[in-house]
Amino acid sequence: MDLDDGRPAAAFFFAGLGVLLLLAGSYWGLFVAPAETYMGDVQRIMYVHVPTAWNTMLAFTFAFGCALAFLFLGGWKWDSRMEAAMEVGVVLAVLVCMQGAIWAKPTWGVWWDWDPRLTTTAVLVFAFAGILALRHFVDDPVRRATWSAVATIVAFVDVPIVYYSVRWWNSLHQMQSTPETVSSAFHWPLRINAFAILFLMIAAISLRSRIAALRLRTELAPPPPAPAPQTGTAAAEATR
């Protein structure tokens, strides 16, 4: 059986490295990097918000890749990886929305705005949460894997259409922040935290994928052999 339930040592290594880098990046962002001229200290949330947003898209793209691989290459490891990537992606997307809301209130004056990137992230959360719900309501592992792969492809293709439709409708969000668009005083904590969250995401996907693989192993295991028919003497012994 093509399952991905190897030893989790590499996942713990990535988790440890991710925590260390996150501590370093956050320290740099909070205490070393200067405050932004117009937004002040509020801007410091960018050091976790932007890397989380990048990694959210990476997680969903990986889930999409796993869905394609499951449908066209086959292999149960792709199903467990897809489930893990979707769950981690949903958690990261919720975090992005929460961090964005915390930043938006003092900056824009509102917790939420119908901006293309905000709205697309919210739609992504609901679309992938729906697929996770579908996985919970289908007992047959083959159907569950195939249907969620199909739904993942359909939802992922929807992302650019949602983005551009909302962009035509309304837009307020500033241009994307990248290390090239911000001053060199700001980009180191941004880079360090991007790798920190990437490593944490790899660790979480790897561990969650292992749990999914172990569950699949149980589900796909052949049923225990039926009890042998009892002979007349054995039946009499059993009833005695």
Partner 1 sequence: MSELSAALRKEALLQWRTRAQLAAVFVFGASALLLFSFAIGPDSAALRRHSAGFLWLGLLLASTLTLAESFQSEMEQRALEAQLLMPVRPAALFYGKAISNWAQLSLLGFALVPVMVVLYDAGTDRLGALLGVILLGTAGLSAPGTLYAAMTSQARARQTLLPLLLFPLVVPVLLAATRASSLLITGDPMGQVRSWALLLACFDAIYWSLCGLLFGRVVED
The binding site for partner 1 (CB under 8 A) comprises: 71, 119, 123-124, 126-127, 129-131, 133-134, 137-139, 142-143, 146-147, 149-151, 153-155, 157-158, 161-162, 164-166, 168-169
Query: Distance between CA atoms of 146 and 138, rounded to whole angstroms?
Result: 11
The residue among 35 and 134 lying less far from partner 1, judged by its C-beta, is 134
Q: How far is the CB of 200 from partner 1 (least distance, A)?
A: 26
Sequence-ordered list of residues with C-beta below 8 angstroms from that of 202, at least 6 positions apart, any chain: 11, 14, 18
Q: Cα separation of 130 and 25, whole Å?
A: 34
Which residue matches tokens 């919970």? 136
Nearest partner of 190 among 57, 29, 40, judged by Cα: 29
| Residue found under tokens 């159907």 | 143
Q: What is the spatial distance between Cα 157 and Cα 162, in angstroms, rounded to a whole number?
A: 9
Q: Which CB atom, from 154 or from 235, has the smaller least distance to partner 1?
A: 154
Q: Which is nearer to partner 1, 103 or 128 (CB)?
A: 128
Considering the complex, what minimum distance in angstroms separates the CB of residue 2 from partner 1? Answer: 17
At its nearest, how many Å lie between partner 1 and the CB of residue 176? 21
The answer to whether 56 touches 96, Cβ cutoff 8 Å, is yes
Least distance in Å: CB of 68 to partner 1? 11
- Looking at the DSSP bridge assignments, the partners of residue 25 are none
The partner residues of 40 in beta bridges, in order of sequence, read 36
What CA–CA distance (Å, rounded) separates 192 from 183?
Answer: 15
Shortest reach from residue 67's CB to partner 1, in Å = 10
Q: How far is the CB of 39 from partner 1 (least distance, A)?
A: 30
Q: 43 vs 148, which CB is nearer to partner 1? A: 148
Q: In this complex, which beta carbon is closest to partner 1, that of residue 95 or of residue 129?
A: 129
Residue with tokens 């705005």: 113
Q: Which helix (DSSP H) or strand (DSSP E) does residue 4 occupy?
A: none
**Which residue number, 101 or 123, has a Cβ lying nearer to partner 1?**
123
